[in-house]
Amino acid sequence: MSQQVKETYKVAPSLVFFLVTGAQVGIGILGFERILAKVAGYDGWIGVIVGGAMVNISIFIMYKLLKEGGGNLVYIHQTLFGKWIGNALNLVLALHFWNSAYTVLRTYIEVIQVWMFPSLPSWLPALFFLFLAYYIISSGFQVITGVCYFGVILPLWLFITLIYPLEYAHFDNLMPMFTHSVKELWKATISMSLSYIGYETLLIYYPFIQKPEKSHKYAQFGALFTTFLYLVVCLVSFAFFSEKQLLVSIWPYLTMTKVVEFTFLQRFEYVHISFWLLVVMPNIVLFFWAASRIVRDVAKIQQRIPLIGMLLLFFIYTYYIDDRAEIDRANTWNGRFGFYFIYVYIPFLYVVQKTVKKVGSGNQ
C-alpha cells in the first residue's frame, strides 16, 4: 500500500453500507423518472433493476481490483502505469470527483431557487455549503462516515410520504409491460448511471476500512438498498403521473410531495427540500474528500491545500457561471464519464492487473 492508514482513523466494515448508499442516493432521485420515461416509457423500471445489478457486479470487480492491488486506485495506477501516466490518470479521476460534487451541489441549489427562493443568488447558499463541507472533511474520514450514516438514517421517513400519492395512483399505467426494444431499455439503463454513481469513491477510501475484505457484503447490501429505493420511487411516480405529465415534470418526486398536506403545514415540499440537505451532504463531502485525497497522494502535500483550492474553484465557478445549460452539460458529462469509467475502464484495469501479475510471475 502506498500509505498505511493508522488503525485509529479506520471505520468498521459494516459502515460501508452507509458510505455506499449515502454516496448513491442524492439529487438524482428527484428527477430520474422523467429521463427513464423519455427513453423507455413505463418500461423504464427495467432499467432501474438492470442498472442496479450492474452496480453490484461492478462492486465485486472493484473489491477484486483493490484486494490484489494492495491499496487504493491511486496506488494501483502508479504501480501499473508508472509515475507520470499513473498520476495523469489519477488527476483525471480527481476532476471527475470534483465535477460530481459540482453537479450534486449546483443542482440542489437550483432546486432551492426554483421551489423556495427564486431571487436567491447562487453564490450565497454555495458559500454556506462549502464552509460546511470544509468543516466536515477537515474533521477526518470518520466524521464523513458519520455524516453518511445520518444522511441515510434520518431522511428515511421522507420516503414514507410516498404513501400519500398512492391515493391518486393508477398502476394500470404500467400495462402492458415489455413493449419497448432492447435498445430503448439499454438507454434507460445508461441513463441511470448518473443516479447510481458515487459508490466509486470506494476506490479511494478502501484503505480506511478495517479488514476491508469483510466490508464487501455490506457494500453489496448498500447498493441493493439503493436500487430498492429507486425502484419504489420509480413505480410510484409512473403510477401517479400520466406519461405526458411525467415528460414535462423536471422533478417528479418533489411534485408528488405537493399532495402531502397537514393541518399545520400546507407546503410540505418546503420541509422536504430543506431536509434533503441531509441526503446530498454525504455526496458532496465524499466527492470533495476523494478528489482532494487523490491530489494529496499525487503531489505529496497536505490534503487541506487541494481541498481549499477545490472549494474556492467551486465558488468562483458558481459565482461567474449561473447558466442552466451549463448545469445540464455538467450533468451529462458526469453521467457519461461515470458510466464508462465504472463499467468499461475498471473491468479493463482489472484485466491489465491480472495480465501484469501473470507475466511477472511467469518471468520469475
> For residue 302, what are the contacts with CB-CB under 8 A and spacing of at least 6?
296
Helix (H, G, I), strand (E, B) or coil at 4: coil
Q: Write the pLDDT tens digit of every residue in 130-179.
A: 999 999 999 999 999 999 999 999 888 888 888 888 888 888 888 888 88
- The pLDDT assigned to 363 comes to 60
Q: How many CB atoms are closer than 10 A to CB 243? A: 12
Q: Annotate 173-238 with DSSP letters as a single string.
A: GGPSPS-S-HHHHHHHHHHTHHHHTTGGGHHHHGGGBSSGGGGHHHHHHHHHHHHHHHHHHHHHHH
Q: Write the pLDDT tens digit of every residue in 29-82.
A: 888 888 898 888 899 999 999 999 999 999 999 999 999 888 899 999 999 999
**How far is residue 287's CA from residue 22's CA, in Å, rounded to a whole number?**
11
**How far is residue 44's CA from residue 230's CA, in Å, rounded to a whole number?**
11
Cα dihedral sign, 180-181-183-186: positive
Angle at CA of residue 144, ends 52 and 74, nearest 5°:
70
Q: Write the pLDDT tens digit of every residue in 246-276.
A: 888 888 888 888 887 776 667 778 888 888 9
Q: Write the pLDDT tens digit of every residue in 166-177.
A: 888 888 888 888
Q: What is the CA radius of gyration of the chain?
A: 21
Find the mean pLDDT for residues 15-34: 91
**How far is residue 66's CA from residue 75's CA, in Å, rounded to a whole number?**
10
**How far is residue 23's CA from residue 287's CA, in Å, rounded to a whole number?**
8
Q: Is 276 exposed, middle or buried (0-12, 13-18, 19+ CB in 10 A)?
A: buried
**How far is residue 265's CA from residue 215's CA, in Å, rounded to a whole number?**
42
Average pLDDT, the chain: 89
Query: Which amino acid is residue 282, in one-letter code?
Result: P
Q: What is the dihedral of CA 342, 199, 59, 6, to 10 degrees?
A: 120
Cis peptide before 176 (omega within 30 of 0): yes
Comparing C-alpha atoms, which of 33, 31, 29 is closest to residue 21?
29
Q: What percent of the chain has pLDDT over 70?
A: 97
Contact 16, 24 (CB under 8 A): no
Cα dihedral sign, 325-331-334-338: negative
Which grid coordinates belong to 157? 421517513
- The pLDDT assigned to 286 comes to 96
**How far is residue 254's CA from residue 303's CA, in Å, rounded to a whole number?**
37
Compute the 3-state secondary structure of the chain and give helix, strand, coil in percent, each to the nearest 5: 80, 0, 15
Q: How many CB atoms are closer than 10 A to CB 144? A: 26
- The pLDDT assigned to 50 comes to 94
Structure confidence at residue 362 as a pLDDT band (50, 70, 90):
low
* pTM for this entry: 0.93
**How far is residue 170's CA from residue 191's CA, in Å, rounded to a whole number?**
25
Structure confidence at residue 1 as a pLDDT band (50, 70, 90):
very low
